[in-house]
């Protein structure tokens, strides 16, 4: 079985290092496709054994996000012709088996071919100075494993085709696993966002408004911690994934009669916490 992974990255050196480390171990670095947004020598070093493409980072067009995910969808379509499965997502996301004794490839070998799979999303959350937990995240329960040609929506939070979640795979969203790198990410775009705020609110474009909202979300996320009593309800990842998967199935919705995605608001009061096992502790150390 042939499986590859695709990501696009701007700076985010620690995240890229961990992304390559994880997928390189399980898929082989020659099956990794890294698209660098900008000429970054650190990317060149980290991705030296991967399939590495550099795209200039000039003035970003208004519809950049649309262009980005259209390009990634097209690349995945090309790779689907030579691979059984293509894993596509951001550089701060990895797909891991819910069972610690399985590999991604072993799980995919048991799945129906030519389908699109959603992994159950979990966010790495700080619980104390020395402890992390995984918190169920409907927003990051995304259609990330592609067995056929599809078109992904913005952020790959949905797809313009039928897809479904399975409890055997979890998407781990880990920006908060490294506070220094998370802060650097915000600083890299702080000047851009500050400039956008100088534009009168009535004159801001839709993209400018989206970037300003993103900046607010990042600032809010940096202050998040799990509730103190969360550790009392922590369960193994497989148990948490099995609890969340049927809830995700019930929350799926169709937007504008074409895009299928999770409706996170329906699950905003669902709190499911999973333990971080040795696989992630070793990776993030």
Domain ranges in the chain are 3-178+225-284
- For residues 166-186, give the mean pLDDT: 91
Q: What pLDDT score was predicted for residue 58?
A: 76
Q: What pLDDT score was predicted for residue 202?
A: 79
Q: Could you write out the DSSP letters of every residue in 208-223?
A: HHHHHHHHHHHHHHHT
Which pLDDT band holds residue 34 (cuts at 50, 70, 90)? very high
Q: Are 263 and 251 in contact (CB under 8 A)?
A: yes
Q: What pLDDT score was predicted for residue 207?
A: 66
Assign a CATH topology to domain 3-178+225-284: Spore Coat Polysaccharide Biosynthesis Protein SpsA; Chain A (3.90.550)
Tokens of 237: 């990842």
Write down the mean pLDDT value for the chain: 90
Q: Are 211 and 193 in contact (CB under 8 A)?
A: yes
- Tokens 């070793």 found at: 282
Q: What pLDDT score was predicted for residue 221?
A: 63
DSSP 138: G
pTM for the whole thing?
0.90
Q: Are 193 and 215 in contact (CB under 8 A)?
A: yes
Cα–Cα distance measured from residue 190 to residue 195, given in angstroms and rounded to the nearest whole number: 9
Cα–Cα distance measured from residue 190 to residue 229, given in angstroms and rounded to the nearest whole number: 34
Q: Could you write out the DSSP letters of every residue in 27-38?
A: H-GGGEEEEEES
Q: Which residues contact 74 (CB under 8 A, 6 or more apart)?
A: none
Q: Output 184 or 213, whichever has higher pLDDT.
A: 184
Digit-coded pLDDT (tens) for 95-140 = 999 999 999 999 999 999 999 999 999 999 987 766 889 999 999 9
Q: How many helices (H) and strands (E) does the chain have?
A: 8, 13
Q: Which residues contact 108 (CB under 8 A, 6 or more apart)?
A: 1, 3, 84, 85, 145
Q: Return the bridge partners of 252, or none.
A: 262
Tokens of 5: 């992974």
Cα–Cα distance measured from residue 23 to residue 49, given in angstroms and rounded to the nearest whole number: 12
Distances (CA, A) of 127 to 47, 110, 176: 32, 35, 11
Digit-coded pLDDT (tens) for 132-141 = 899 999 999 9
Lowest mean pLDDT among 34-48, 175-189, 213-227: 213-227
């Amino acid at each position: 079985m042939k499986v590859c992974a695709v990501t696009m990255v701007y700076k985010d050196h620690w995240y890229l290092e961990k992304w390559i480390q994880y997928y390189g171990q399980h898929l082989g670095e020659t099956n990794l496709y890294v698209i660098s947004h900008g000429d970054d020598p650190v990317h060149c070093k980290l991705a030296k054994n991967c399939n590495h493409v550099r795209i200039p980072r000039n003035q970003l067009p208004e519809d950049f996000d649309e262009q980005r995910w259209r390009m990634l969808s097209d690349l995945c379509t090309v790779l689907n012709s030579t691979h059984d499965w293509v894993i596509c997502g951001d550089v701060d996301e990895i797909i891991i088996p819910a069972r610690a004794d399985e590999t991604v490839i072993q799980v995919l070998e048991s799945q129906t071919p030519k389908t699109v799979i959603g992994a159950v999303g979990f966010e790495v959350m700080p619980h104390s100075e020395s402890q992390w937990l995984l918190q169920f995240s409907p927003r990051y329960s995304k259609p990330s494993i592609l067995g056929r040609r599809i078109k992904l929506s913005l952020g790959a939070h949905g797809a313009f085709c039928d897809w479904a979640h399975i409890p055997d795979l979890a998407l781990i969203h880990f920006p908060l696993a490294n506070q220094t790198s998370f802060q650097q990410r915000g600083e890299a775009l702080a000047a851009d966002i500050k400039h956008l705020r100088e534009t009168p609110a009535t004159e801001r474009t839709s993209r400018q408004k989206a970037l300003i909202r993103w900046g607010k979300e990042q600032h809010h996320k940096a202050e998040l911690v799990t509730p103190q009593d969360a550790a009392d309800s922590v369960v193994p990842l497989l148990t948490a994934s099995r609890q969340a998967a049927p809830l995700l199935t019930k929350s799926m919705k169709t937007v504008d009669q074409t895009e299928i995605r999770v409706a996170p608001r329906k699950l905003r009061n669902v709190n499911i916490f999973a333990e971080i096992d040795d696989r992630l502790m070793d990776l993030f150390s």
